[in-house]
Amino acid sequence: MPHFLNSRDSGFDAAFAGLLGAKREEAQDVDDAVAGIIADVRARGDAAVIALTARFDRLDLTPETLAFAPEEIDAACAKVPDDDRVALELAAARIRAYHERQRPEDARWTDAAGADLGWRWSAVAAAGLYVPGGLASYPSSVLMNAIPARVAGVERLVICAPTPDGVVNPLVLLAARLAGVDTVYRIGGAQAVAAMAYGTESIAPVDKITGPGNAYVAAAKRRVFGRVGIDMIAGPSEILVIGDGTGDPDWIALDLLSQAEHDESAQAILITTDPAEAEAVAGAVARHLEVLERRAIAGPSWRDFGAVISVRDLAEAAALSNRIAPEHLELCVEDPEALLPAIRHAGAVFMGHWTPEAIGDYIGGPNHVLPTARSARFSSGLSVLDFMKRTTIARMTPQALAEIGPAAERLAISESLQAHGLSVRARLDRLNG
């Protein structure tokens, strides 16, 4: 059974705090193991990656076969059924159209002192995208990571996609081709992250690494941050649904299970103003769990981390939602537009009864790589900007330097940075000479 809470109960605050503080990360301590893997890859390069791939993925590779050959990708793409291909092409087109609107503009202007100021945007030169393999092999993740990078203007784009036992998902390779990926490596885990960050004899290093993965991948991204940029440290999936009694309990139950089936540590929460809806949704979840293919995963997720919370009104629901700062938030209410202004912290918001979160996972357009573990309080989902950097521009005229230079010199003196001040004074003296 999930956690049942009611904001009218005297112990609600403590129970809600306990729900927020529940540890959902992987229990096993993987950081030491990841540190060893990274050190091995840095020391032995290809040899370490090949040995680790044989150990963890039961796949024997050589430096020449680390990456898929073009003809292998051709053959895999040819196996994709027409209906799947059409769906993937539609998803790619919608994701590209959405992200093209995110491209920032350069700016230049002259301020009141006569100084020429501004900024310009440029893409990182190379990006590496991690795509989970095996049972969690998601072509949608390829599109969501690679398309924003291409829209940003990244010159070299590579993917690491593990292929345990040599099993390849043709849709992943087709997605890579649709997104314009240059190279797909059949390696995974912390060793793939290390190879992309530090490079090996056969794998050139990148500037930024993005994409979801297991606890080992997350720990590796944390460790290589600083050597390269990363998107975020993603935790287990989350969904929060706010209801007001106007939704279909069966729909809401399926939406909750759409995230619970990802991971036993995923979290699905319903907050509703209607006690009858709370009961009906909980019952519908229980019925679906009897037949769901991934009930062995979704069941423990719902039992251990799921919650049904009854509240007084939608204002209280929004306040609790902001404290949770969910990865995915569905507003399954009669008037979602009226409730939206009260929502401050959420990775992505899905408006109304006809917008299931799963649309966002595949075909909606916005990115599905989103902040988890309450990090939506301070971060955003993956976007074009994650693959770009802003360079500021300043140009002083003699007149501008004469106007603002003395203040810069004064501040340099106050910080005991003599050369700073003298670099300005030398120019001011030339103007006054």
* CA–CA dist 33, 164 (Å, integer): 20
Give the Å distances, CA to CA, from 377 to 23, 348, 349, 370.
Answer: 18, 12, 14, 12
Percent of the chain at pLDDT above 70? 98
Contacts (Cβ under 8 Å, ≥6 apart) of 175:
88, 92, 139, 140, 142, 143, 146
Domains of the chain: 3-25+235-364 (3.40.50.1980), 31-113+122-230 (3.40.50.1980), 396-432 (no CATH)
Tokens of 54: 């044989």
Q: What is the pLDDT of residue 134?
A: 62
Q: What is the pLDDT of residues 139-189, one digit of tens each?
A: 999 999 999 999 999 999 999 999 999 998 999 999 999 999 999 999 999
Which segments in the chain show pLDDT lower than 50? none
Structure confidence at residue 105 (pLDDT): 97
Hey, which residues are catalytic here? Answer: 327-328
Amino acid at 57: D
Q: What's the CA dihedral at 370, 374, 378, 384 to 10 degrees?
A: 0
> What pLDDT score does 4 carry?
95
Residue range 201-237, pLDDT digits in tens: 999 999 999 998 888 999 999 999 999 999 998 888 9
Which amino acid is present at 248?
D
What pLDDT is recorded for position 25? 60
pLDDT at 1: 83
The pLDDT of residue 23 is 67
